[in-house]
A and B are shown apart, each in its own frame.
Chain A
């Protein structure tokens, strides 16, 4: 397969970026999207050019590093998938591809397709944990958790912190990300005790990092690679006493 790629190139956060067009030929359909970009980078090295920078690590959909907007969709238009889990067979009929970084005020572009998501770390640092003293914990089975709550908590806890929800949101809000953590911890007895203070701290931090607030567009749950649902936001609102 052959593709025409329009890729966002930007030297750093202070310089305006632009789309640059490349061509890549003879791509096998079992090649992953990122492997296709690897091959393009090999071409660029052969031509003495600086490579296109993009984030990745695990390449199996769990670390949350990869982050591309492809033809307008964060992580591509395939449902419940990260960018690294896209294969070129998924793009058989779309041979012209536009590839951009996450765009949000709180995720400044570092270079090309790479953005700075440290604002997510700051939100977790503000209160996204159980305040247990590390090193002293009671016997695990002393605290029973009903299976349903444990399963639901797990579903919320699977958020990989990728930031697609922010990238797609018209308000560039991080509410889904924040709500997933609040819900995960609130559903468990261990996290229940501090739930309200935690939720307030995390939301305050989200605002001070410059993320917008939620106005129920619900685009976030559609692009979330882990299927985190907006019911997490409802739960968060309950915790905050907003409903």
Chain B
């Protein structure tokens, strides 16, 4: 039943997308209004898709759980977006971005997809500029660039430290423009809780109106999930509080394969946790690593000292020491592991949590001395202010403290070259799919991927699907629709009426987060993963017995919303551990202790693990399917940033 075939075009890499575009079927403009597409999620991927499909004349219905599409988590992206314009004439090219992305992902992504992403990147900037996105500019009036984590060219476009906000508002405005047109509708404060399948095809969704609690069914010719990532499985992460896996998890349970669930990125530069009641961690943009120098005290005895009292020769600029070529700009996974390593060895700074200091310094004194306070403030002012408001410390005066935190999920729904999942008529875009980043994502590449999917790839591949499919009529009276509504209502009933209500959703979420952070975070190990799988199974059992949701379901009830999301995170958490256990190698962000070199470098095993691990839901045990990765154009090498 499932379509587990990548559908990659063949031939020279440079021609593949163009050739594929030519082979895709089109729908004539006058017929487009007869096709209805549901888009769940209106972050960068979803909003850009809705704008494009609306412009083309399709009927589009979109949904998001926030009170406005403008608040999607994409709004929080700080540092920038990559594109191969080569405005800086520093030798950038489509090929180089392609190569950097494949290498950055530690050779665990599909070449054709990544090449297409690099090809489309330039056009995204054109689109955004035309919409009025106020990117940073040079005095000449030309667009400015900076270099960003893990690359040696300046290909990152940015709008101060608020690039995601500006890109999302651009896409939101383009989407809003379509909402004036009768074909396009949008519902906010609406959460998708089930995927409706008819004849093995995705034909609709069940949605809970978060204000009234009303459950309704919506049908269409196809469904697209642009519902973001699942870092919140760890409880504490840099993601917005509402980010969840529910939409993708419902799809998984209906038969869509989930790929590489254990490939989760831990971002090196976040504000360290301070206590037990913390609700989230805040990212300090990676762009800070361009100008800040990371160090820790050489002597453990200095760790509790005021950094100003630690002599220059007693400071260990460990990234510069360990990786002279890339120094403070090594990719995220490499930097995060190094920071953890330093803190585990007892050289961490900051307040003690569970007996350990979790932090290292990110120091701007050198750059302030060089460029002056004003120039530094112009570049990083809002980030410095943010840091100060969180910690009460002034980074102009004293170095920031940073520690890694869960940030991005490379894993997600498995998709083919058309971004269609293994369920016919179900597509996934943005962070919700697994497509382009392999085992580790480079900085400023998620915005690029979400927008490439939404503006340029999905509109074409969805049209092809609609043109080629013969679909039966489905309306609200269809037995499958009625069944899906019932499934959702039963589940809500179960959440509201546990046999022995005792603990809040937060309680379970924190417990899950702790298990995942220890077992499936920056370093993983078979024995701990096995234990975590048992612990999560037990947690799941307790959850359904003891979950306590107060209030009523036919109302705005945030406790109920959370309970549903936590239930899905618990199941996903188990699959993350199973995937991490299966992958007996280290690659990218996936660091298995058993497969690290002495100095902590990932030992990849291309002979046995050069595949995408795609999991199929089965009620007893998930089943693994392997998509073998064939490197036709790039020879996988040891990722070396020394």
Contact = CB atoms under 8 A, between A and B. Distances in A.
Given A62-B76, A161-B68, A45 B134 contact: no
B173 A59 contact: no
B166 A59 contact: no
B498 to A, nearest CB: 13
A185 B160 CA distance: 17
B322 interface: no
Residue from B240, B275, B548, B555 having most chain A Cβ neighbours under 10 A: B240
B129 A57 contact: no
A179 interface: no
Given A63-B240, A124-B176, A140 B132 contact: no
A35 B278 contact: yes
Given A89-B392, A154-B160, A157-B134, A55 B127 contact: no
Contact of B138 (A85, A147, A154): A147
Contacts of B550: 44-45, 48-51
Interface residues of A, number: 75
Given A62-B76, A111-B555, A135 B134 contact: no
B70 interface: yes
Contacts of B389: 61, 81, 85, 87
Contacts, number: 212
A38 interface: yes
A118 B68 contact: yes
Interface in A106-138: 110-111, 114, 116-118, 120-121, 124-126, 128-135, 137-138
B73 A58 contact: yes
B87 interface: yes
Chain A interface, >50% SS class: loop
Nearest to A48: B550
Interface stretch (A14-22, A26-34, A206-214, A233-241): A26-34
Interface string A63-101: 111000000000000000100010101000000000000
Given A116-B67, A145-B137, A59 B280 contact: yes
Contacts of B242: 57
B176 A129 contact: yes
B159 interface: yes
B373 interface: no
A60 interface: yes
Interface of B: 48, 51-52, 54-56, 66-73, 75-76, 85, 87, 123, 125-132, 134-143, 159-160, 162, 165-166, 169, 172-174, 176-177, 179-180, 188, 211, 240-242, 274-275, 277-280, 282, 386, 389-390, 392, 455-456, 459, 504, 506, 548, 550-552, 555-559
Interface of A: 28, 30-32, 34-35, 38-39, 41-42, 44-46, 48-51, 53, 55-65, 81, 85, 87, 89, 110-111, 114, 116-118, 120-121, 124-126, 128-135, 137-141, 143-147, 150-151, 153-154, 157-158, 160-161, 184-185, 188, 190-191
Q: Which 8 A-B pairs have the closest CB atoms?
A: A144-B141, A129-B173, A137-B130, A50-B551, A154-B134, A140-B129, A137-B126, A63-B71
